[in-house]
Amino acid sequence: MKVAVVGATGLVGTKMLQVLAERNFPISELLPVASERSVGKDVEFKGTKYKVVSMTDAIAAKPAVAIFSAGGSTSLEWAPQFASAGITVIDNSSAWRMDPSKKLVVPEVNADVLTADDKIIANPNCSTIQMVVALQPLHKKYQIKRVVVSTYQSVTGTGKKAVDQLMGERNKAVAGKNEEYPMAYKYPIDLNVIPQIDVFLENGYTKEEMKMVKETCKIMGDDSIRVTATTVRIPVMGGHSESVNVEFANDFDLNEVKGLLSSAPGVIVVDDNATQQYPMPMDAHEKDEVFVGRLRRDETQPNTLNMWIVSDNLRKGAATNAVQIAEYLVSKGLL
Ligand SMILES: NC(=O)c1ccc[n+]([C@@H]2O[C@H](COP(=O)([O-])OP(=O)(O)OC[C@H]3O[C@@H](n4cnc5c(N)ncnc54)[C@H](OP(=O)(O)O)[C@@H]3O)[C@@H](O)[C@H]2O)c1
């Protein structure tokens, strides 16, 4: 089928092309799309060069599906135009996630909500995706009441400019190079930790934190789950990490928790204190799974678990999740 990748020159778009190729998604014609600045440039897919086309040319070519990773405002403007041409849009931005008429999907959790009528499907925020993949099997068994999450997020979640800032700062500090680099953040990120992701809201939380609160309930289909989040940027590239404290309505057995997670789709348990095995972003990098470890009881209150969740934010947090949605649509004949 014809597939458009919108934002094909960006960090997520590049990863999207890689994941589509690796998973052998059935593509007869690829339409890479980016801003007017990039039209005519080449991108590579499966060893072949493809020319970047404009939005209007992509719509005119009538692909079956368009996977968008080009920012919220681009998506708000263009996704409806693709949809009204009969093209199914899978959107990585935050533009449609909380729109009650749009589905917000993590295939391991709620792919079954999708129908052929869904023409704009939202891909959740990266930090939410990896958390719900690990929470879902536990929620089914023990019923989650409350989640307290603190994140340790990779600079790749901000895009190319942030990677350039981190590497520029590092080259300056370590190699003494005095090359120009862009500032994606207000502050240095190398040798630093920034406790702000996205803009501040009226309630004192950041938009990223409130995304984790709202998206978790929507994906898991349960508004009774209370989530409170602190989202933090750290000078790391391989993936996002999360310290998650979960209170359940019902008590659990730690070995049973490990068993449930080990057999859950998309989850790999890495949890052995004796050999110091736990998930780390350098190991999750370039993998599609969600890694869970440091499983232990919170000894300060009943029915409460502490866990550590790591995943590659550009893969499961963005590209892989979007491609899995497309694969599900194909497998159910919904495209
Ligand atoms: N990075 C993550 O972990 C992550 C995770 C989930 C979702 N997302 C979302 O994915 C999107 C892209 O993120 P990124 O990290 O890949 O950013 P990025 O590296 O800055 O790439 C942005 C892409 O969007 C294209 N673009 C920008 N304005 C456009 C326009 N008006 N029309 C068409 N294309 C346009 C750019 O094309 P040019 O090269 O021509 O400028 C580029 O291909 C964002 O919405 C982000 O929120 C990111």
Q: What pLDDT shows up at residue 109?
A: 98
Q: Report yes or no: 304 and 297 within 8 Å, Cβ to Cβ.
A: yes
Distance 222 CA to ligand 1 centre (A): 30
Question: Residues in the chain with pLDDT < 50?
Answer: none
Q: What pLDDT shows up at residue 176?
A: 86
The full DSSP string for 220-253 is HT-TT-EEEEE--B-S--S-EEEEEEEEESS---
Q: What pLDDT shows up at residue 54?
A: 98
Q: Report whether residue 35 contacts ligand 1, using a CB cutoff of 6 Å.
A: yes
Q: What pLDDT shows up at residue 174?
A: 86
Q: Residue 254's closest CA among 300, 296, 304, 292?
A: 296
Q: Whose CA is nearest to atom 6 of ligand 1?
A: 318
Q: Report whether residue 69 contacts ligand 1, using a CB cutoff of 6 Å.
A: yes
CA atoms within 13 A on the CB side of 53: 19
DSSP state of 23: T
Tokens of 5: 């990748």
Distance 274 CA to ligand 1 centre (A): 42
Q: Which of 6, 11, 128, 155 to mutate to test the pocket of ligand 1 (most atoms within 8 A of CB)?
A: 11
- Buried/exposed code over 21-42 (b: 16+ C-beta within 10 A; e: otherwise): eeeebebeebbbbbbeebeeee
The residue with tokens 């502050």 is 187
Q: What pLDDT shows up at residue 91?
A: 98
Q: Report whether residue 90 contacts ligand 1, using a CB cutoff of 6 Å.
A: no
Q: What pLDDT shows up at residue 2?
A: 97
Distance 48 CA to ligand 1 centre (A): 22
Q: Catalytic: which of 126, 139, 217, 285?
A: 126
Q: Whose CA is nearest to atom 28 of ligand 1?
A: 35
Tokens of 295: 């499983």
Q: Is the dihedral of CA 23, 26, 28, 31 positive or negative?
A: negative
Q: Report whether residue 80 contacts ligand 1, using a CB cutoff of 6 Å.
A: no
Q: Report yes or no: 123 and 281 within 8 Å, Cβ to Cβ.
A: no
- Non-local CB neighbours of 274 within 8 Å, separated by 6+ positions: none
Q: What pTM does this model have?
A: 0.96
Distance 7 CA to ligand 1 centre (A): 5
Q: What pLDDT shows up at residue 178?
A: 84
How would you list the strands of the sheet with 144-152, edge to edge?
226-230, 144-152, 240-248, 304-311, 290-297, 267-269
